[in-house]
Structure 1
Amino acid sequence: MGMEDDFLKDDLDAEKTIEYIKSYLPQELKGKFSDDEFYYFLDLIDEFYSESGILDVAPDEDGCVEIDLGKVVDFIVEEAHKDGIDDYDPEEILFIVQGELEYAESLGDDE
């Protein structure tokens, strides 16, 4: 049952992240993206972090790791194009990436 619990926890975490991002988006972008697109974006953000080596970088003295949001956005836009999903506007995707990062940082504030 442990693996099933992990999947349920991951789904719940993704749902919370998506809800946070939706509330973070500017009014003109609210409702523009489907939940499936948000799940896709989250998967690509995770993939970028895994493949870029950012997860292996030692934090600075403040406990922070510098993340180039432009590179994350470019990765999402390029992968979505390659996958035939859509040609997304990088400026719109930047809000999603920022929202995901803000959510992750808010979790750290609770600890």
Structure 2
Amino acid sequence: MKQEEDILPEYADDEETIEFIKAYLPQELKAKFSDDELHYFIDLIDEYYIESGVLEGEPDADGYVEIDLEAVANYIVAEAKKDEMGEYDPEEILFVVQGEMEFGESLGQVE
């Protein structure tokens, strides 16, 4: 049971992230992505940050680490195609990536 308790808070965070992203998306994209797709995209965003080493980069003079959001969106599009999840428009996925980043900023996790 302990494992389930460890997983549930992370899942709850994903649910909050998904709700934030859905509110962030332009009107024409709000109904385009299912919650399952958004979960998948969030997992790929995390995967990109880990595998790319971007979070281990040196911050600039203001303490910021530069993250190329278009590269993240392109990564999601490529992985989704490879995983046979579907083909997505990188420009639409960019809104999801930006929404996830904005959510992190709203929590003070990202500066």
Report the TM-score, using the length of structure 2 for normalisation: 0.92
Q: How is 1:27-106 mapped onto 2 (pairs within 5 angstroms)?
A: 27-106=27-106
Q: Distance in 2 between matches of 1:86 and 1:6?
A: 31
Structure 2, unaligned runs of 5 or more: none
Measured after TM superposition, the shift of residue 58 of structure 1 is: 2.8
Aligned length: 109
Q: How is 1:3-42 mapped onto 2 (pairs within 5 angstroms)?
A: 3-42=3-42
Measured after TM superposition, the shift of residue 55 of structure 1 is: 1.9
Q: Distance in 2 between matches of 1:105 and 1:28?
A: 24
Report the TM-score, using the length of structure 1 for normalisation: 0.92
Which amino acid is the alignment partner of residue 82 of structure 2? Answer: K
Which amino acid is the alignment partner of residue 83 of structure 1? Answer: D
Q: Distance in 2 between matches of 1:55 and 1:69?
A: 13
CA RMSD, aligned part only? 1.4
Q: Distance in 2 between matches of 1:65 and 1:20?
A: 23
**Cα deviation 1:10-30 (Å, max 9, x = unaligned):** 001000000000000000001
Q: Distance in 2 between matches of 1:12 and 1:62?
A: 32
Q: Distance in 2 between matches of 1:48 and 1:42?
A: 10
- Report the 3-state secondary structure (helix = DSSP H, G, I; strand = E; otherwise coil) of the residue aligned with 1:7: helix
Structure 1, unaligned runs of 5 or more: none
